[in-house]
Each structure stands twice: as structure tokens, then as C-alpha cells.
Structure 1
């Protein structure tokens, strides 16, 4: 299915930006700063109401009523804005935080030695408080030690779980008894607080062979555009190496991969030209209206998140973990965010967005959009920092 044309709102954004007529599939967006300025600009979540399309998709994928979806979006915006303030307020006692969907507010974990003043400050921000045994810094150190190990293919990944206050190591069920997996788990447990979880399948990337009518191609590989930056767009690193040429959905030349990293990371950026340009939009593929992007405030664990890709189009889920190391067959990739949103081959590089805030680009996962699964994305702010790019956002 060839993508729908941009909605009236997106087209208005083009007119305000002074761009000529649309030449091809140019998706997502970023944090607004003047072209040429270094580094990303992360803005607080917008007070704009959620679009009908986002609300409808959350009703479908998360099993919510319309009122529940609207209330959750508003609460998640508040939680995203409060998270960095709460972390600063907790100081050395900070043990992690997450969005509690049932309560509709941010929960902050602190160690038993957190002072009364610290707890009062957190409550003043509207946060729930939970006591935990390990600080976030201690758990991050455990994960870093595990990152130095060589993981067998039967280990699919590991991440800090702030709710359980431990580092969770995921093992593919059929490999749980493998000797190399057992040896890895023995080493991992020596690193500190570790819990082992069994998962049904190993992750894979979501690139695909060439088919007609989708966003961009490199050789015989199809991937999805992520978010627009000034001068190009960001996407997944496993889609191509630096210097690779890129063609659009209509077969015309878009530009070139200027930077790419995979494994270790899974990000890349493509410069655009030849009549193509960038717009601050995530495609809705006719499932929902195209979404304007107004910033890149990070959604905490527990928040809803939606994904746009050239194969499965638009689907929503929940943020399950931050800063996870994922062990693909090609090698480990670090600092990914795990979600319950589904994806399929060809969706690689596509946009993850919460409300109107850009989150990251699709890396990989397991399952599909018929039977369900999990996905990971590379956070967009990390990509911007790595390449000195500026996200393109709508500021109207």
C-alpha cells in the first residue's frame, strides 16, 4: 500500500516552512532549533490535545476507552516532564522511576536512607514513592559489567528493571539448558543483582527485501524513515553502511548514508537532496492522521508509545524498559528501549513517538503484528548527540 498524502495539518506545516510541493515520503521529526546549531534540543511535552488518530490507535492496541486514552496521554506528558526533576531531587538515593498506568502518575524508587526532605520534594512533584534496596547507579554498574561479557545467542538481552529493582537477563526458552548460556548466567550473577527471565523468541532486525511502494531502499533492502533532522533524516544503522545511496518510495534518488553504526549501536543518518526535503511529520499510513512532532522528551517506563513503519504501518504499545542491551545474531546493541508495540520486516528505522514527542527509530524485535511480540528502538536523542544533528519540529 502506497502511503497516503500528508494531512492538512502537515501540509500547513510545509507552507509555513516555505517548502515547495511534496516530492516523496519524508517522515518524522525532531526538536526545534535553528538549522546548523549543534546537538539536540529536547522540549517539554506539548499541551496540544492528542489527535483522534493517536487516541483511536491506543484504544485498539492497549484496550482503552477513549476517555482512558485521553487521560493517560495527559498523565504521561506530566510524568515525562517530572522525571528529570525527580531524579535530581532524589540525588544519590535515586533507585529508578516509571509511569504507573493504573495510578496515572510517576513512581520514583528511593533507597531507605532517602531523607525526609527528599521524600517531601518528590511528593511535591506529584510522584508516588517506593523504597528499593539498590540505587539506579548500582544497577547501571551491574549492567555495564554484564555488557563486557560475551553473550551466546541463547541470551536475547538484558536491562535494568526499575520496578523489580534488578537487572533482568532474558534467555530464549529453548536455550535455557545450553552450557554456554549457563556459564554466561553464572558470570552475570557475579556482577550483582540479577534476575533471569525466560522469553519465547530471540530478537531480529526488521529490514526487508525490495518491494514496491514503500519509503526507502538501499540496494535490495527496504527500511523506513525515522525522524527528520535539518539536512536529512535518522534511521536504523543495520539498513546500510556510510556511502550507500538511498532511493525513495517512487524510485527517485533521495541522498546518501552519511553515518551508520551497527552492531554496538543501531543508528544512522541520511543526507537528502535532489528535490527531497524534510518535514516534522510521522506518517499515519491512513490508519491515523499524519502526526506532527513538537519535541523529543523521553517517555518513562510504563508510558504508551506508537510506531510508524512501512510494512505494518501504525501500532501502539507500552515502554517496557530503557537502556537495554539486545543480543542480535550480528552482535550486541546497547542503550535500546524495549516496547510491547509490534513490528515486521521493512519497519526497521521507522518512528517511535509518544503523543507528539519523538522517541526513537525501530531497531528490531520478535513476533509480528498478527500474533504480537516485542520491539526495541534506538533513542533519537542519542542519535542527534552522536552526529551533532538537530531534530526538525513543528512549532506552530
Structure 2
């Protein structure tokens, strides 16, 4: 029986992240060209600027664990500073500055610890949000909790929610013009996988025995077919809302690979799954809009979709469209996550959220296929 590559035939996408300073490899050669092409288009960078950024992001990600450990209880968040080409760590205790800088990161003073901000966000996660509250997250660079609300809302429930939010700690309120939506799509042509012959999503990453994708794409037991209509597998697990991830077990006709569809820019080979920092570049692949890049703006974001609230997402300024749900996100050659939803589109731009891949691997005990 003919065996089919998951990525090539099923529209799988992957994310790539920078390599480590001393013990990890630089971004793989197979990742550089597709990432470079999209970063030039979407971030307005030259070829040399892309190469320089990827080379700087890799060691910055490598020092993150040591820098956080050096800050200890004074850790106040971290982010990648593209202008300086370094990881920046906030500290609430100036005595920790030298230890953080010794790891290769920069240290800056902040008022609140990451633990305090995360606790405030967790308190909000326990509240029922009105529909015009579109989400909330910790802005590590601003050292504040941010709540996003629909511009012009007059709903009294929104003000009550904001009053409760402000009681938890420092809060900034941002107005947004659009409501986030999920990126599942109806049956149309293109590289994708299909759920019960009624909806289309995008493959995220190959794992041993199948692939991971978004939870809102299907439920346990739902059947999955490839773009040619052939049987592909079955959803073995799915979590949505609350989370937004799923695991599809494929049949023997489909061979999981480490490749991600670069949609005309060359495939990317995934080499690992080290999480990138706020401020780092990230690229995504999906069966509707193809290959696009942006930067990570926040982690642990809670998004209030019409279908239910999801926590623990990563916020980006890369675009996506319906049908891209479940598709891959990479930073360099490191897998980052799978597309959840967002607002806007790839004509005018927008905000897109992804479910971190490491949580999916842990939840189902899966092993990422790498090259």
C-alpha cells in the first residue's frame, strides 16, 4: 500500500525556533529559506537582517532557563529585545541583576514578579467573562495584566468584570475593534485534512503514530480524511474549550514526518520543541493562507471565544484565516504550537493565537517527530 507523507499530502505545518548558544545547533538549513522568505515579506526585513535576527534569537532562547533561575523569586518576566539582540529579564530585586547578566541576558528593574502577575491572571480565569471582554494576558514587557474589551461597549457587565480585574493587581485595559474567532473552515480545496467530511483544518505537527492539531477541529472518535478523500485516521483525544488541542492517530497509509509545508518557500524540517520568548520571531503554516510570520507578543493568554474560553494560548501579530486552525507554528526549526484562532485576515493583518505544542505532547504522552 502506498504510504503518504503527513506534511506534504495533508497540509501539515510546523514552526521553527532558534538553536541554543553552546549545546544546540543553529537553525537548520532546511528551515532558513522558507523562514527568511516569509520574514522578509511579513516583517519588512532584508535577507541579512533575517539572518542576523535568527542568529541572535537562538542563543537568547538558550540562556532563558538559566536567566530565570538566576532571578529566582525576583523574576519579573522575560522577552526578546530585537534591537539589542538579547533576552531581557525583569527583576524586582536589584541584587539579582549581576547574576542574571552573568548568564548572558540583560536585567531591568520591574515592580511586580511574574508569579504575582500570573496569580492575578489565574484569578481572572476563574471569572465568567461577558462577550465584550475578548481576553486577558500578562504583558511581560509592560509588567502588567492586560484585559482587552470591544471598543465602544456599553455593557455594564464589562465594567463589573474590569472592577474585579483591577482588584487583583495592576491592570491595563486595551480596546479592540474585532472579536476573536476560531479558524476552522468548511470543505474547500487545498492542502488540509477533513473532519467527518464536514469541516477542514490544518495538520500541526507529526508525532509518533499520528499528528497534533487544534481541539476545536474535532472530538474523540471523529473520522479524518486526507485532501484526496482517503481515510487518514481518527481523533484519539481532544480538549476544547479550556484548552485547544487534539491528537489524531493515523492509519498505516500515512507516514509521520518532521517536515512542515512552506507553501512555495520550501519545506521546514522540525528539529525540536524549545519554546521561544516574547518578542521572538515566529512563522506559521496553514491550508488556507499558507506561510506567514510575525512576532510573539504574549504568552499564557486567555481568549474569550463565542464557543468558550481558552487559557494558556500564545498571542502573535501573524495573520491567519478560517481553515488554518490546527496548523503549525515554528521559531527557527523549533515547534511552538498549533493555530487556535484570532481576528483579522492575511489581507489586512490581524492577531492570531496558538496553543503551545509542549502542553499537547505532555497531555497525551506524545513524542514529536524531528529531523
**Do both proteins adopt the same fold according to a TM-score greater than 0.5, normalized to the shorter chain?**
yes
Task: Specify the alignment match of 2:178 in structure 1.
Answer: 201
Within the candidate set 307, 310, 313, 1:333 is matched to 310
Number of the residue aligned with 1:168:
146
Matching residue of 2:75: 94
- Following superposition, the deviation at residue 114 of structure 1 comes to 3.8
Change (3 A) 1:94 1:374: same
Q: Distance in 2 between matches of 1:370 and 1:136?
A: 36
Matched residue of 1:68: which SS? helix
Match of 1:145 among 109, 123, 137: 123
Cα displacement (A) at 1:228: 0.4
Q: Note if contact 2:74-2:113 (Cα within 8 Å) is conserved in structure 1.
A: yes
After the TM superposition, which residues 333-372 of structure 1 pair with which residues of structure 2 at under 5 Å, given as runs?
333-372=310-349
The answer to whether structure 1 residue 27 and structure 2 residue 8 are counterparts is no
Match of 1:40 in 2: none
Matched, 1:221 2:199: yes
2:25 is matched with: 46
Match of 2:274 in 1: 297
Matched, 1:244 2:225: no
Contact residue 14 and residue 285 of structure 2 kept, 8 A: no
Q: Which runs of 5+ in 2 are unaligned?
A: 17-21
Show the counterpart of 2:189.
212
Normalising by structure 2, we get a TM-score of 0.94
Please give the alpha-carbon distance, in whole angstroms, between the structure 2 residues aligned to 1:222 and 1:21: 19
Q: Which residue is 1:9 aligned to?
A: none
Contact residue 106 and residue 128 of structure 1 kept, 8 A: yes
Q: Distance in 2 between matches of 1:336 and 1:349?
A: 13
Residue deviations 1:330-359 (CA, integer Å, cap 9, x gap): 111010000000000000000000110000
Aligned residues: 360
- CA positional deviation for 1:22: 4.3
8 Å Cα contact 2:13/2:204 also seen in 1: yes
- Normalized against structure 1, the TM-score is what? 0.88
Q: CA deviation at 1:52?
A: 1.9
Q: Cα RMSD over matched residues? A: 1.8
Shift of 1:53: 2.0
Determine helix, strand or coil for the equivalent of 1:133: coil
Cα 1:241–1:22 shift into 2, 3 Å: closer
Gaps of 5+ in 1: 1-18, 32-42
SS of corresponding position for 1:159: strand
SS at match of 1:208: coil
2:99 equivalent in structure 1: 121
- The whole-number CA distance in structure 2 between the counterparts of 1:345 and 1:355 is 25
Aligned to 1:179: 156
